[in-house]
Amino acid sequence: MIKHWDPSAIDYETDYGTPAPQPEYSPEYAELPEVSLFIDGNSLKVPAGSSVMRAAALAGISIPKLCASDNLQAFGSCRLCLVEIEGRKGYPASCTTPVENGMRILTESGKLAALRRNVMELYISDHPLDCLTCPSNGDCELQDMATAVDLTEVRYGYDGKNHLQAEQDRSNPYFTFDPSKCIVCSRCVRACEEVQGTFALGIDGRGFDSKIVAGQKQSFMASDCVSCGACVQTCPTAALIDNAIIEHGQPQRSVVTTCAYCGVGCAFKAEMKGNQLLRMTPYKGGPANRGHSCVKGRFALGYASHPDRVTEPMIRDNINQAWRTVSWDEAVNFAADRLRTIQQQHGRRSIGGITSSRCSNEETYLVQKMVRAAFGNNNVDTCARVCHSPTGYGLKQTLGESAGTQDFDSVEKADVIVVIGANPTDGHPVFASRLRKRLREGAQLIVADPRQIDLLNSVHVASTLHLPLRPGTNVAFINAIAHVIISEGLEDDAFIAQRCETDAYREWKSFISDAKHSPQASAAITGINADDLRQAARRYANAGNGAIYYGLGVTEHSQGSTMVMGIANLAMLTGNIGRAGVGVNPLRGQNNVQGSCDMGSFPHELPGYRAIGDDSVRAQFESVWGVELDPEPGFRITNMLNEAVAGRYKGLYCQGEDIAQSDPNTQHVQAALRNLDCLIVQDIFLNETAKFAHVFLPGSSFLEKDGTFTNAERRISPVRKVIEPLGGKADWEATMALSNALGYPMNYQHPAEIMAEIASLTPTFAGVSYQRLEQQGSIQWPCNQDAPGGTAVMHETEFVRGLGKFVVTEYLPTSEKVTRRFPLLLTTGRILSQYNVGAQTRRTDNMQWHPQDILDIHQHDAEDRGIVDGDKVEISSRAGATVLTARITEQLQPGVVYTTFHHPESGANVITTDNSDWATNCPEYKVTAVQINKVTEESAWQQDFQQFSSKQQALLKDKLSS
Amino acid sequence: MSDTEQQSCPRKIFLSRDTTSLALGAEQVADRIRASEKHRGEDIEIVRTGSRGLFWLEPMIEVDTAAGRVAYGPLPIDQLDETIESLLDADCLAGDKRHPLCLGLTEAIPYLAKQQRFSFSRVGVIDPLSLADYQQHGGLAGLHLALTMSAGDILAVVSDSGLRGRGGAAFPTGIKWQTVHDVDSEQKYIVCNADEGDSGSFADRMLMEGDPFSLIEGMIIAGIAVGAQQGYIYLREEYPNAHSILKQAIASAEAQQLLGNNILGSSKHFQLELRLAAGAYICGEETALLESLEGKRGMVRAKPPLPAISGLFGKPTVVNNVLTLAAIAGILTRGAAYYRDYGIGRSRGTLPFQLSGNIKYPGLIELAFGPSLRTLLEDFGGGTYSGRPMRSVQVGGPLGAYLPAAQWDIALDYEAFSQHNAVLGHGGIVVFDDSVDMAEQARFSMEFCRIESCGKCTPCRIGSTRGVELIDKICTDGCSANNMNLLEDLCDTMTHGSLCAMGGMTPIPVQSALQHFAEDFSKQGEQDD
């Protein structure tokens, strides 16, 4: 019987030895033809281009191997995988031999057995004989292969030349390199190159002296290594191994789950020993990451079991009191009483809630449901407000759906990749690795960013174009690109005629044709060289597949929504939408920021982005929820804070978000929080916001609950409980308890029931169920009758809104301008090793990479101010001032300074202002006019912060048990 | 010739500038001649040529006579002043044959007369940097022809000639070129492997130093035939003299429109770049060479894909040895049949053999395939240099077999050698007399692999180290069955398991030494017994 290759039969726990063959590039990406062959007498068909090793593995025949792994190109070095092929001389390596029609292959014979055993004998003649005490014992490919080839003795003895005394490198906090156990298979080197794209590892010396080295023979820590873990993951021995495994031994079981850091949404296996999480290893079955990881998801886990975790509910009457630990009942009753009292005194709309983009879809859904059904108003918002709300708005207006158009696999088919206002190597590292892989294959890169981001320095990339624009001038830039495309006739007329609204296009075209959008005219605004801009426009318009990826550098502006629409215009203009390899792709920040938006976390929208003002929509929810809903949209976060300062808004339930650190104009936020009568914070740590709270409900980490996260590609992925919640309740259970205390009953037994309710009320989620998630692994919404398996690429034949709509995008300069008083522009961003407010990563060894936030300043601006590397400098804006350490850099243009916001004491948001996007109030984090001065001590705000913070810590430490 | 005529034109002395000649004192000879010229007031032109390859007669000078060039040598370096003066006194410049160092007509010297010089016909004769000289001696005729031929016709001639890769693997050149020609690609490359690293091998260098334009011409023709417009010569880093000569030759070829756009006014283009190698033996392996040429560490690539399909920078690439490419123009000029008519069996044409080691008359001997090894050793080589009995001969570089006297009658033919588990390789022949310790030589073969292994595949990386240790052990502990079985297993593993010929062929010299000179291995063992 002929066995046909069945793509769906791929088992992600099996290593097939070499990657699945990819079709040669063609606009259609035709399917690969099949090749028939015989392996050990079995007849089978596999895709052309497969290796003999892979074909055998697909047929369930495993050929011994050490240097091969199916995420790396075949290398052919270990020589264990030799086979015999009828009609061919010698013993070809099965990993490097492609299949051919009619090939007859023998994978086992006496000769092959002898050759393999003899090769293994050579390996073991230079390997420590400490299997029983080796941390890899039981999880070692060398050990497995020695068994597979039946090695029983090493006739060379052990007195020969060897590497057994080679010195270990323990510089990295998470893993150890032990060269004595290295078999020089180069898998680590190749993983660093092919998977991660950093090229930090290499081989020094040759022949027997070959050894793996990091950087220029540096320690791993001192080298370019970004600690992504790809080398550790692929190492077949204990040469590169997690310190956790050295310390605690091999895991006993593993559970596939979804990373809780960024919006890439990597699938991981949580590897457990008893109730202890030993490590997270990337799971090949996750389509977002395809088996890759970054330093955060792979290693930065210590926070989940950190002693700072608060695991008991606590209450206090006011924030000058010590906390009192209480039972869950007492805590939620206390909270419910206070909230009801506030409503009695200040009205129904005087309280509200903030959902968390860190929590699951189900949990977010419950919070907004509680606000609408139990609080009786629509005062619900989420942190997407301060990051990607313009994405939701802008894409809805133009394309009809508030989400990115592609899956991450799409980047593998892009020819010109435009990255605007994003720093993927730091913010979305696993996606950046996939992007860089495509660049190494020849795709062109265009980056529009004030900074020279690291992506531009990728290794082996032939074409990069950097458009260093001035902060705040995105819209002028995107208009100029569109202007060039129109004026040079590079638009896709057929696409526009067929897919877009004609009148809107005509109006937009006459707008964009105006000479004020010409590259020369806009150069005065953006600072981008006109020729470079034309070059970029032509490349994007003429690309076979042009893809745009953007980040918060697009949205966090006073014209964030305008810019998003400008991007959508550009994609429609060039027909770069509706197929693999193209699209408009927001790189979303948090693990579940897409999900929190989808789940109705906005004051004007119910789950599925449906207007609260729409009577029929509201009626559906009312009938299922059994309450009457307020038709009036509620407060956004900004409104809540303003109302709180004004004394009209008094109660807030804040789940898993730290607005005191993350929101702009910290002093304003703090004033608002101080004015609340009841602040309920639900978090895993006593975060900055919780220092102002009256009720603290212990949150649960992603390891402690079931649920789903939705990543930047609309992919709903399961989060699976591996340990019981440290605080006794998962976050959804805590919300339920509070709702019940408020008198609105909720009684879910499992998040699957919540998802069933979501699916019943949300057309784009109609087909989503835990059962389907189990079967498929993950689902990209929309998932419904029309797309039962989900949707990888949106807007394929028509836009969600029907016809695409060009929107006129007039550039209006931000009011945040440089002045004589504030002559520099501050922009902010993230760094690889730390995550957002740092609540998690600051409680891990990632601190070794980034112990403090630094102010980057150009040499020119530094010299003007007499600043040298390492000086303390004060950054002041019209909102406030803070002090950081300066670093001189040329990654920036003169006139722009940059910092990260990972450490609360840095007070980056003390400086940012309350300027915001005209449509969504997304704060303008990316542009603040500032002055920099050399100083000797911290700012007044920082001194106050230290004082307040230590007081609150003391109040936590002195907590009373009741 | 009248006296007046003789005085009006400068009289010429031909003197080699080949690296070996320089090592033997050719530069001192030149200096001395110039000094004599000054003080004698004579007008002498010294024409620097390549070497004739008669190294035991060097330093050697030649002068033109009506009958042909007359040679004088070897000039004793320690008596150079007197010798030059006496030569000039004896009117050697006119070809006077009475001087004791006179060797008569160069081409009548039996060592040269008995050869069938095809590729080396100009080497030692012309000024390697004179394009005019090159053309006068038949150069560029092949290129002119090629420019009038279709690619298919050129490929047919190369195929029909029976030319096989001279680097050692002897792969049919026509098939390789056809493969590259047939791949549809805008970018293709011609790469000349001039990383001549085999011990006892010097033909590539001699050719590049003596007749560089023939290599350049061959590469251009290859480019025209397969559709490549870019060539690289990957030159052994330890060949500074060849580097300087090639550099000048390429520059002058560019100046004369042989290289660049619109070659000789045609519509064909070909750029040629000279690259210095990385100084590693393994970089002479074609895939490691390509890696190195790409700027990477010289590591062997797994095949497939063949370089002809995916070679330099992933593009279809002809990788040919210097001698292969240098034969092309002559083949085109004289026709496929002319070349094919030399040789025996599947080994067609000529091979420039290089005779060295413990040999009386070392040098370069270009012969058609077919005669026996013994012919080279005895008729040309004249026995050992030491005068002791000849015991062992290594043919084909450090990975070639050690042949005992019983095998010296094997015909010089790729297939005949391979039948005896030996290789003809690049034609390097190194001779040993009876004082050689063949166990030491076997150890050296493993040691060579240990030092030069790129380290990629396990049999070569670890095997060569264990091999050295094992041979040491055999030499001290004796040839126990265990030791010998293990060595046999190791050799078998390296032969069948290695990624490239480096590890795969290292067992050849080891096993040949064991097989034919077993007595050398058991010396120590016998004493212990």
For A537-589, how does the pLDDT look when each residue is reduced to its tens digit (9 = 90+)? 999 999 999 999 999 999 999 999 999 999 999 999 999 999 999 999 999 98
Q: What is the DSSP letter of A515?
A: G
- pLDDT computed for residue A25 by the predictor: 59
Beta carbons within 10 angstroms of residue B273's beta carbon? 12
Testing the interface with A: which of B466, B477, B505 to mutate, by most A Cβ within 10 A? B466
Task: Give CA–CA dist B130/A323, Å, rounded.
Answer: 97
CA distance B80 to B86: 10
> What is the predicted pLDDT for the residue at B353?
98
Q: A331 pLDDT exceeds 90?
A: yes
pLDDT in tens, B189-239: 999 999 999 999 999 999 999 999 999 999 999 999 999 999 999 999 999
pLDDT for B95 equals: 80
* pLDDT tens digits along A757-782: 999 999 999 999 999 999 999 999 99
Asked if B280's CB is within 8 angstroms of A206's CB, the reply is yes
Lowest pLDDT segment from A505-509, B63-67, B130-134, B283-287: B63-67
Nearest to A125 among B462, B464, B498 (CB): B462
How many angstroms separate the CA atoms of A310 and A684, rounded?
Answer: 6
A925 Rama class: left (phi>0) / alpha (psi -120 to 50) / beta: alpha
Mean pLDDT across B267-272: 97
How many angstroms separate the Cα of B482 from the Cα of each of A155, A156, A798, B444? 9, 10, 76, 22
Contact B456 A82 (CB under 8 A): no
Closest by Cα among A798, A800, A732 to A764 = A800
Q: How far is CA A884 from CA A557, A912, A925, A934, in A?
A: 24, 15, 17, 10
Contacts of A114 in chain B (CB under 8 A): 489, 492
Residues from chain A contacting residue B499 (CB–CB below 8 Å): 76-77, 79, 93
Rounded to 5 degrees, φ, ψ at A378 are: -115, 30
Per-residue confidence (pLDDT) for residue A4, from 0 to 100: 59
Q: Does B462 contact A123 at a Cβ distance shorter than 8 Å?
A: yes
pLDDT band at A3 (very low <50, low <70, confident <90, very high): low
- Identify the helix (H) or strand (E) that includes residue A55: helix A52-58
CATH topology (fold) of B131-339 = Rossmann fold (3.40.50)
Chain A residues with CB under 8 Å of B492 CB are 114-115, 118
SS3 of chain A: helix, strand, coil, percent, to 5: 35, 20, 45
A97 at interface of B, judged by CB pairs closer than 8 A:
yes
Contact between residue B500 and residue A92 where contact means Cβ atoms under 8 Å apart: no
- Structure confidence at residue A8 (pLDDT): 67
Reported ipTM exceeds the 0.85 cut? yes
> Which element (helix H / strand E) includes B35?
helix B26-40
pLDDT tens digit string along B354-388? 999 999 999 999 999 999 999 999 999 999 999 99
What pLDDT, in 10s, does the model give residues B28-52? 999 999 999 888 888 899 999 999 9
Q: Where are the domains of chain B?
A: 3-113, 131-339, 342-433, 438-528
- Name the residue of chain B whose CA is nearest to A441's CA: B314
User: Per-residue pLDDT tens for A831-840?
Assistant: 999 998 889 9
Q: Where are the beta strands (DSSP E) in A551-676?
A: 583-586, 605-606, 610-611, 651-655
Query: What pLDDT score does B1 carry?
Result: 40
Tokens at residue B301, please?
A: 């690539």
Least CB–CB distance from A208: residue in B304, B462, B493: B462
Mean pLDDT, residues B498-505: 96
A456 Cα to chain B: minimum distance (Å) = 21
The answer to whether the beta carbons of residues A229 and A241 sit under 8 Å apart is no
pLDDT tens-digit profile of A639-663?
Answer: 999 999 999 999 999 999 999 988 8
Interface-testing mutation among B300, B461, B485, B505, with chain A (most A C-beta atoms within 10 A): B461
pLDDT of the residue at A26: 55
Angle in degrees, CA B131, B136, B141, rounded to 5: 85
Residues of B with Cβ-Cβ distance to A74 under 8 angstroms: 302
Q: Can you point out the beta strands (E) in B140-203?
A: 189-194
**A111, A160, A207 ranked by CB distance to B455: nearest:** A207
Mean pLDDT of A922-943: 93
Residue A203 has pLDDT above 60, yes or no: yes
Between residues 277 and 296 of chain A, which touch chain B (CB distance below 8 Å)? none
Per-residue pLDDT of A424-483, as tens digits, reads: 999 999 999 999 999 999 999 999 999 999 999 999 998 999 999 999 999 999 999 999
Region label for A682, one of left (φ > 0), alpha (ψ between -120 and 50) or beta (otherwise): beta
- C-alpha span between B515 and B508 (Å, rounded): 10
In order of their start, the domains of chain A are 7-108 (3.10.20.740), 131-147+154-305 (3.30.70.20), 314-386+592-780 (3.40.50.740), 389-586 (3.40.228.10), 824-953 (2.40.40.20)
Q: What is the pLDDT of residues A171-186, one digit of tens each?
A: 999 999 999 999 999 9
CA atoms of B181 and B226, how far apart (whole Å) = 4
**A684-743: pLDDT as tens digits:** 999 999 999 999 999 999 999 999 999 999 999 999 999 999 999 999 999 999 999 999
Share of chain A above pLDDT 70, in %: 98
Separation in Å, CA A551 to CA A296, A438, A532, B364: 19, 19, 22, 69
* Topology (CATH level 3) of domain B3-113: Glutaredoxin (3.40.30)
pLDDT at A28: 52
- What is the mean predicted confidence (pLDDT) over A328-350? 97
pLDDT digits (tens, 9 = 90+) for A593-638: 999 999 999 999 999 999 999 999 999 999 999 999 999 999 999 9
Mean pLDDT, rounded, of chain A: 94
Greatest distance between any 2 Cα atoms in chain B: 83
- Distance, in angstroms, between A212 CA and closest chain B CA? 12
Strands (E), B177-266: 189-194, 230-235
pLDDT of residue A30: 61
Do A206 and B282 count as a contact with CB atoms less than 8 A apart?
A: yes
User: Which residues of chain A are within 8 Å of residue B464 when distances are taken between CB atoms?
Assistant: 207-208
User: Which of B302, B461, B486 lies nearest to residue A184, judging by beta carbons?
Assistant: B461
pLDDT at res. A962: 59
AA letter at A765: F
pLDDT tier for residue A58 given thresholds of 50, 70 and 90: very high
Give A115-137 pLDDT, tens digit per residue.
Answer: 999 999 999 999 999 999 999 99
Q: Assign B4 a pLDDT band (cuts: 50, 70, 90).
A: very low
Residues B113-151: tens digit of each pLDDT: 999 999 999 999 999 999 999 999 999 999 999 999 999
Q: Are B362 and B56 within 8 A, CB to CB?
A: yes
What are B274's two structure tokens? 């000279």
Please say whether the structural domain B342-433 has been given the CATH code 3.40.50.10190: no
Where do we find the tokens 């942190």? A383
| pLDDT at position B2 over 60 | no
Is the pLDDT score of B255 beyond 90?
yes
pLDDT band at B408 (very low <50, low <70, confident <90, very high): very high
* Tokens encoding B173: 């050149």
Cα of B106 to nearest chain A Cα, Å? 47
**What percent of chain A has a predicted confidence (pLDDT) above 90?**
91
Closest-CA distance of chain B to residue A157, Å = 10
Question: Residue A156 and residue B460: Cβ atoms within 8 Å?
Answer: no
- CA gap A499, A428 in Å, rounded: 32
pLDDT in tens, B453-497: 999 999 999 999 999 999 999 998 888 899 999 999 999 999 999
β pairing state of A854-858 and A896-900: antiparallel
CA R_g for chain B: 24
pLDDT tens-digit series, residues A853-908? 999 999 999 999 999 999 999 999 999 999 999 999 999 999 999 999 899 899 88
The reported pTM is 0.93
Mean pLDDT of A258-272: 96
The pLDDT of residue B40: 87
Q: Is B465 in Cβ contact with A119 (below 8 Å)? A: no
Contacts with B, A 173-232, CB within 8 Å: 183-184, 186, 202-203, 205-210
User: Count of CB contacts below 8 A, A vs B?
Assistant: 105
Q: Look at the block and give the residue holding tokens 């096993």.
A: B511
Q: Answer for the pair B357, B431: CB distance below 8 angstroms, yes or no.
A: yes
Yes or no: domain B438-528 corresponds to CATH 1.20.1440.230: yes
For residue A350 the two structure tokens come to 């005087």
Cβ contact A156–B496 (<8 Å): no
Residue A184 has its nearest CB partner, among B455, B463, B499, at: B455
Nearest CB partner across the interface for B297, out of A77, A126, A203 = A203
Nearest C-alpha neighbor of A228 from the set A448, A436, A463: A436
